[in-house]
Structure 1
Amino acid sequence: MPELPRTRLPGVGELLTHAVEAVGGTERTGQVKMAEAVGRAIRTGEHLAVQAGTGTGKSLAYLVPAIRHAVEREATVVVSTATIALQRQLVDRDLPRLAKALKKPLGREPTFAILKGRRNYLCLHRLDSGAPEEPDDAALFDPFAVSRMGKEVKRLHEWSSDTETGDRDELVPGVSDQAWRQVSVTAKECLGAARCPIGTDCFAEQARAEAGRADVVVTNHALLAIDALQGYQVLPEHDLVIIDEAHELVDRVTSVATAELTSAMITAATRRCGKLIDADIADRLMEAGDGLALVLDDLSPGRMDALPQPLQGVLPAVRDAAHGCLSMLGAERKEELEEATARKLARTLLEEVHDTAVRLLEAFEPDQAHQRDVVWLSGDQYSANPRPPALRVAPLAVAGLLRERVFGLNTTVLTSATLTLGGTFDTLARQWGLPPLASFGKSETESAGAAEQKSSGTATEKPAPSDEDNLRWTGIDVGSPFDHKRNGILYVARHLPPPGRDGLGAATLDEIAELIEAAGGRALGLFSSMRAAKQATEELRDRVEHPILCQGDDSTSLLVRKFSEDVRTCLFGTLSLWQGVDVPGPSLQLVLVDRLPFPRPDDPVSSARQRAVEARGGNGFLTVSATHAALLLAQGTGRLHRSIEDKGVVAVLDSRLATARYGGFLRASLPPFWPTSDPQVARDALRRLDAAAPA
């Protein structure tokens, strides 16, 4: 079918109406507003942040204008998500249905692809040649030995003949990370399609090629970060990025930009280069690694504000020894494939050891206000499952990276159900590297209004680039289809004493028991620590008549399914449940929060970021700790309403939400529930809901 002239493509509103009707959905006001705002951002090049409550239908709202743009301009659009669940929803459900629905009005069927990091794809060359010796094993396992590892690798060999994508997620049930490492490579370990003997059949290269031809490429925040961090292009050429689950962007980018150094890494690097260079040079690196192991064993875990004296000697030794090995290894050369592979693997590990040692040595600035990284020693060598100590280094901020390598290069749309913290987009905007909306001379309310009043225009709305231009963006909250005030109560237990460090107090446990009994079960308990979740489970199982499941008793997905299927069951847990539970209906009518989810005082990254803000004259607690708590609290309370019919109570058992000065900031970050501090009001509401719920 010949391509339609660009001027004949239907507008965003018309396409959205057509798409919603085709998939059997219902058009929502917030969805229409969001689609129009995304279309306007594409035309003007102005970045956009959209808060869209659960049930808005935000996937269609950004996919429709994005696909229209891709077809009209013959361009590629990148959609980045934080979770595998959303990736699968987009690729397996939303995009196939939408592509068929829009085929006729657009003149052709839009195409889409999923792209992940190279480590997620089976490497046929490694499968054929075998993995290098692992540093923790005296001898590498036999791939066909009678063991769990052997069975997994044998299964991977068999699967390699059947799979068409080589994508690890296609493998159900999955295999352990240790087994997968034997059949996959990182981008740095890869020989490259031109040198690899199986390069023409490479699954990762095929995925990249497919992504380069697609209208929409679905990826994840980690790969988006790698694309921004690396000196080479990972994602296909694109001019529009849509970041869904944008509230997790900073944490995911920080994780990718975090490096670690261990003695095991140095041992592995030494073994890989040992046969390729002089033994004396390799021995120096091994000795430096042994020295690092001795030093780390004597240090206490935690954040390092200054480089300890023992590390001042051993880290330069590691750096210099790794540099010596790299120099002896030399540049890539024409050689036999087996030797080229060994050299590539050795260089990859040596560079990681060297570069991390350099970064650790450069991390300690006398002026805390100019410090870029935080360093800490991690390790739980005294636990039941000890792990060796590791030196870790993470960026204090990723705003500069995002500003330069994401917002500075492409029109960007950020969306989530939770973007306004304390009632403003500016809190997260600072972390993203965007200027405050006030810098544009308009309030946030005016900004949203202005976004709705701009003319429809054409692509010429996008101004010519200028070095003097600031990054311009608009924030808009399109609301939620849920009536939070009518269907939800925020109960803050103002009468309870503030939480202490010695676990849940008797009064808090009594409060939880009374609320669960009033609700008839149906409770999701979100706790600030695993210890608190287990304490509540153990002490309340004998006190309440309803079953209580606790995270860790089984796989989280199985526990959530049991909780959803039995309306009288309660589920207690910690961090992953705050954002990972989607249970509509009468099984969930009470969300319990034991305490405000501030980061742990000994969390190295959060504490260092807070200190850095204070060194620059800011309020470190509000900027870092309160923002973290507000984001997690908004996500956690959002578990209550997953459909229009859902009703219930969010019970926050931390009186500081009502009494502390920062309580207003946290409450302004939550959905507009009807508020109360009266426990009787909360219990009576739960009893009425229990009585009205289906048997």
Structure 2
Amino acid sequence: MPALPSSPFPDLATAPALIAGHGACSLLTPDGELLVPDRADLPALLRTLPPPLLVHAPATLRGIGLTPPAPPGPWLDLLELFLFCHPGRSAAPTPRGLAIALQVPVPARLEADLLPALADTMLETLRARSGTADGKPLREMLSVLRAGRWPWAGIVADALDAPDQPQPTFDALRVWRRLPKWEETAPRPAPGNHPVAPGDARTRLRQILGPDAETRPGQADFASVAAGAFDPREDALAPNIVLAEAGTGTGKTLGYVAPASLWAEMNGGAVWISTYTRHLQRQIDQELRRLYPDPAIRRHAVVVRKGRENYLCLLNMEDSINTVLSRGAAAGAALIPLALLSLWAEVTNDGDLSGGDLPGWFGELFGRGTLTAMADRRGECIHGACPHYQTCFVEHTIRRAREADLVIANHALVMSQAAWSAASGSAPLAEDAVPTRYVFDEGHHVPDAADSAFATTLSGLEAAELRRWLLGAEGSRSRARGLRRRLEDLVATEASLEAPMDAVLLAARALPAPGWATRLADRAVAHAPPPEPIEDAETDVPPSTPSNPFTALLAAPLPARGLAPEPAPNNPTEEFLAAIDRELAARLAGKDGRARRMLGGECDLHPVPDDVLEAAAALSRALGRLSTPLHTLIQRLQAKLEEDADALESSERARIEALVRTITRRAIAPVDAWTAMLDQVPAERAAGTTPTYVDFIRADPLPAVRGASPAERGHDIGLHRHWLDPMAPFAATMQGPAHGMLITSATLRDQPDTAGSDWEQPAWRAAEMRLGMPHFAHKPTRAALMSPFDYAKQTRAFVVTDVARDDPDSLAAAYRELFLAAGGGALGLFTAISRLHAVQERIRPALEAARLPLYAQHVDAMDNATLVDVFRTEPDSCLLGTDAMRDGVDVPGRSLRLVVFERLPWPRPDILHRERRLHLSRPAEDGPSDALSKVEAQRLYDDRIARMRLRQAFGRLVRRADDRGAFVLLDRRAPSRLFSAFPQGVSVQRLGLADTIRAVAEFLAASPSH
């Protein structure tokens, strides 16, 4: 394609338009002729034309075999114009998705002549604003975009009637000057305890649904059952718990919103609705528009809460803007994403960069690093010392949540907040007012969330990140701010803080220094035999990566970071990491060798060799020297709050409280947990006893670092501690603040095939064990509401008997032919990322030739939410994904009519699973204990996990009454005992691939909507 022209882009009358990719090519020439060129001819043809109109330049260019250059490119991307015209709104990044968002009629066959119509629609919006007050900020931001040589600048200037300015208005970028400030309010009184009557919950549900809503059998019953979670608590530490399994299509979201909203209004308190996935957070937020149609009322009543790392940090944004502007004329294209992000920041509902009202494809257009640099990086907030503290999006959201009726959070945040409240014993220091009523949607994932929330990991990345948080950037260009930066003005006025702070910074040097991963790898090479070739490891999930993407730099080889290598320090953390790394290498020796450790591997901690014992003891002492001054620092900050209570301004008090909270969470909590774990390293569990924890050593590949090859990036190593039963700490944490909890899902119970007609009681007992109910004082209320769908009529299920599951070519052929038979609308699920990659590479050409777009998680740069939006919008597209797509994806209608699962989703046979199946499998859950051996009980434990995952996967298929779809499992080894996972009335046919393809095609062809 041609180089970016120095003159402004032409007007739309002379701009060609291009739709390309996924086998479909359509080109509108400047003289109005529609062409259908061959994809191979397009690059040469485009060189002869002016810059084209297109939608989603990176995807379009990849679709014709070109590598997209850095923006701005020689094109007019309609998504960029959409960001300018409609900041705070989103659209699926396809021509059809953009047309739907702009309410432009979508033709039956998409051709390139649709794109000028989309551009005209947006430009007409700008023309309408040109003479109004809304046009002034757009004209000011346009001057910045002109300085960045934005391709749309000239066309937009004409629409806004904006003359060229000799000097750009760079103040337009400084959005924090125009954002509203939050103000402190009086604490909200404790909520009342009035119950919600089941009949009142039903009445509220009818009000939400309205007179014309679809009647869903069981939804009103669900609302009545859910009301039980809002009864007054009768005993301390004994919340009312309702376990409600609601089949797909019951309408459980509004079913629990009805009593939750009613209780909040009656009692003046907040109900926290917790989910496992961002998909469902966004879905619930959208559903609540039916309850609160007025946006102003909804903003007051409903708040979505996420971790800080999800939000735009205004201080980081200011740093980025100042860095770009310091380049002067060389700033160029870097101004474009900053300007568009500033427009969004001024209208966003909450500043959420991930899953909020910023389109998920923003990072694709301008590079992921643009948004990553803007995020409130984990633990780096300086709270009251920040000049933007009173306009901070996170602080706004926290304060809104204190007054809201409904807070939509996620399991991890809910558990973190409750654990902080329980540990501190001081609710006023909690970020959010501690709620008393909780709804856990996607309840089958509560144990997984608890497992992550209450686990302890002492790894190179975790420890190095803590060092960076305490010491700040060490010789790099990072803007990381250390503890001294957070406390410098307080220390200047409070001399008692200086000594403990200095002691902390000195002791922090016992944590891994920059370049630790290189030194670890060097030691591994020195102690290991030559590696043997191995195959790629399979995994259910991506390799473990730190929650903060910037920590990749902490582990990078120093030359890749632009720094001079430093000698290995006498560092107790690095000595301990090297010791457990040697132990892992020894236990993985042989066939797997050192290469297995580089890809990821694990081993038991016990029995513990002498060098690990010595290194653990030395590290424990070093962490003690860090913990003591940290505790002293906290005590003196708290003393200042008490001693200066009459003199402290509210903002200063809030800042000190935030520092106490942050230092405790970010530094003291992990250091004390690591110390406790290290001190117990010598203790081995006696044979025949049930452990409280499972301790093991695990290696994980390091995140990729720019300039480093996979071999150079090395691996992380860590000591991991998980609760054997993670619901024990969950119960201990939640039983204090919670007066009532509703745990709901479509898959709380398992139905084993051998249970007969009396399966329900054992299934409920098993569900209660898994959800930790024995750890609570009161027994839960149970309820099960069946799905209203006729699965026997609406679905078909097949097991293919002649596909070699370990042959990528055979597997890909099955996916290809099944997707073609369905004509798209297919979701392909995988238990290993490596097989997903292998299949998508092989089937993409054939699907594109059939004009069936193919998207893939872990391949396409779009985030999962955007991928699902595209899949939902494009009815003939296909999507490949792993477990994140198996659970929580809601795509009703024709866009999802086929689910193909590559193999049975057995649990990963790792150490943690081994210990849990050994100690947590209960024969009594599945029948008389004398009828089951221990081995049989463990088999049933594995079967239960696989069945629950199959139920979740099958549940993607039918989301409303008129949906029809087929489910295909490409695993001929699938035992029939697992088929009870499917709804009653669904019979599973075992057929060869050819017969399955014909059956799928015939069934879907019979659907009225196919």
| TM-score between both structures, scaled by the size of structure 2 | 0.54
Match of 1:373 among 683, 691, 694: 694
Q: Which has the higher contact order (CA 8 A, sep 6+)?
A: 1
Superposition deviation, residue 33 in structure 1: 0.9
CA distance in 2, matches of 1:350, 1:318: 15
Residue equivalent to 2:573: 289
1:554-593 CA-to-partner distances (Å, cap 9, x unmatched) read 2355655565566555433322221254333334332222
CA 1:154–1:245 in 2, change beyond 3 Å: closer, same or farther? same
How many pairs were matched up?
A: 630
Superposition deviation, residue 520 in structure 1: 4.3
CA distance in 2, matches of 1:38, 1:8: 9
Q: What residue identity is the alignment partner of 1:390?
A: I
CA 1:387–1:90 in 2, change beyond 3 Å: closer, same or farther? farther
Residue equivalent to 1:214: 404
Superposition deviation, residue 691 in structure 1: 3.2
Residue equivalent to 1:133: none
CA distance in 2, matches of 1:403, 1:182: 36
Superposition deviation, residue 115 in structure 1: 2.7
Identity %: 25
* Residues 898, 965 of structure 2: 8 Å contact kept: yes
Residue equivalent to 1:443: none
Superposition deviation, residue 222 in structure 1: 0.9
1:532 is aligned to 2:840: no
Residue equivalent to 2:604: 304
1:28 is aligned to 2:347: no
* Residues 406, 412 of structure 1: 8 Å contact kept: no
* Residues 229, 437 of structure 2: 8 Å contact kept: no
CA distance in 1, matches of 2:259, 2:914: 41
* Residues 17, 27 of structure 1: 8 Å contact kept: no
Residue equivalent to 1:72: 266
* Residues 312, 393 of structure 2: 8 Å contact kept: yes
Superposition deviation, residue 13 in structure 1: 2.1
* Residues 606, 624 of structure 1: 8 Å contact kept: no
1:50-71 CA-to-partner distances (Å, cap 9, x unmatched) read 2222322211111111112222
Q: What residue identity is the alignment partner of 1:36?
A: S
Q: What residue identity is the alignment partner of 1:676?
A: V
CA 1:143–1:595 in 2, change beyond 3 Å: closer, same or farther? farther
Residue equivalent to 2:159: none
CA 1:34–1:206 in 2, change beyond 3 Å: closer, same or farther? same
Q: Residues 638-677 of structure 1 correspond to what in structure 2 (within 5 A)?
A: 638-659=955-976, 663=977, 666-677=978-989
**Structure 1 runs not aligned, ≥5 long:** 1-5, 131-140, 437-468
Residue equivalent to 1:112: 302
Superposition deviation, residue 203 in structure 1: 4.0
* Residues 490, 649 of structure 1: 8 Å contact kept: yes
* Residues 112, 217 of structure 1: 8 Å contact kept: yes
CA 1:688–1:78 in 2, change beyond 3 Å: closer, same or farther? same
Residue equivalent to 1:445: none
Residue equivalent to 1:439: none
Q: Residues 320-399 of structure 1 correspond to what in structure 2 (within 5 A)?
A: 320-328=621-629, 330-332=632-634, 333=636, 348-349=666-667, 352-362=670-680, 365-367=684-686, 369-380=690-701, 383=710, 386=713, 388-391=715-718, 392-399=720-727
Residue equivalent to 1:47: 241
Q: What residue identity is the alignment partner of 1:406?
A: M
Q: Residues 130-529 of structure 1 correspond to what in structure 2 (within 5 A)?
A: 165-168=350-353, 169-172=356-359, 173=362, 180=372, 184=376, 202-230=392-420, 231-232=423-424, 233=427, 234=430, 235-267=432-464, 269-270=466-467, 272=470, 276-277=501-502, 287-295=571-579, 297-298=581-582, 299-300=584-585, 301-306=601-606, 307-328=608-629, 330-332=632-634, 333=636, 348-349=666-667, 352-362=670-680, 365-367=684-686, 369-380=690-701, 383=710, 386=713, 388-391=715-718, 392-407=720-735, 409-422=738-751, 424-435=763-774, 470-493=777-800, 495-496=801-802, 502-503=806-807, 506=810, 515-516=818-819, 518-529=821-832
* Residues 898, 966 of structure 2: 8 Å contact kept: yes
1:252-277 CA-to-partner distances (Å, cap 9, x unmatched) read 22222233323455455556359853
**More displaced 10-residue stretch of structure 1: 425-434 or 343-352:** 343-352
CA distance in 1, matches of 2:980, 2:247: 15
Superposition deviation, residue 344 in structure 1: 9.3
CA 1:273–1:111 in 2, change beyond 3 Å: closer, same or farther? closer
Q: What residue identity is the alignment partner of 1:583?
A: V
Superposition deviation, residue 86 in structure 1: 2.1
CA 1:294–1:557 in 2, change beyond 3 Å: closer, same or farther? same
* Residues 226, 256 of structure 1: 8 Å contact kept: yes
Secondary structure of the 1:677 match is strand
Secondary structure of the 1:67 match is helix
Secondary structure of the 1:412 match is strand
CA distance in 2, matches of 1:268, 1:358: 20
| TM-score between both structures, scaled by the size of structure 1 | 0.76
1:455-489 CA-to-partner distances (Å, cap 9, x unmatched) read xxxxxxxxxxxxxx942212222111211011112
Superposition deviation, residue 242 in structure 1: 0.9
1:628-661 CA-to-partner distances (Å, cap 9, x unmatched) read 32222111111211221122221223244344xx
Secondary structure of the 2:947 match is helix
**More displaced 10-residue stretch of structure 1: 376-385 or 270-279:** 270-279
* Residues 444, 748 of structure 2: 8 Å contact kept: yes
* Residues 196, 263 of structure 2: 8 Å contact kept: no
Residue equivalent to 2:495: none
CA distance in 1, matches of 2:693, 2:875: 49
**More displaced 10-residue stretch of structure 1: 565-574 or 300-309:** 565-574
CA distance in 2, matches of 1:163, 1:292: 46
* CA RMSD in angstroms, aligned pairs only: 4.5
Superposition deviation, residue 223 in structure 1: 0.9
Secondary structure of the 1:261 match is strand
CA distance in 2, matches of 1:57, 1:322: 51
* Residues 313, 393 of structure 2: 8 Å contact kept: yes
CA 1:380–1:308 in 2, change beyond 3 Å: closer, same or farther? farther
1:87 is aligned to 2:277: no
CA distance in 2, matches of 1:39, 1:344: 35
* Residues 374, 608 of structure 1: 8 Å contact kept: no
Q: Residues 595-634 of structure 1 correspond to what in structure 2 (within 5 A)?
A: 595-601=903-909, 603-613=910-920, 621-622=938-939, 624-634=941-951
Secondary structure of the 1:657 match is coil
Q: What residue identity is the alignment partner of 1:531?
A: S
CA 1:280–1:254 in 2, change beyond 3 Å: closer, same or farther? closer
Secondary structure of the 1:588 match is coil
CA distance in 2, matches of 1:689, 1:17: 36
Superposition deviation, residue 80 in structure 1: 0.9
Superposition deviation, residue 35 in structure 1: 0.8
Q: What residue identity is the alignment partner of 1:51?
A: E
1:368-387 CA-to-partner distances (Å, cap 9, x unmatched) read 61241333312226946835
Secondary structure of the 2:963 match is coil
CA 1:611–1:115 in 2, change beyond 3 Å: closer, same or farther? same
Structure number with greater Rg is 2
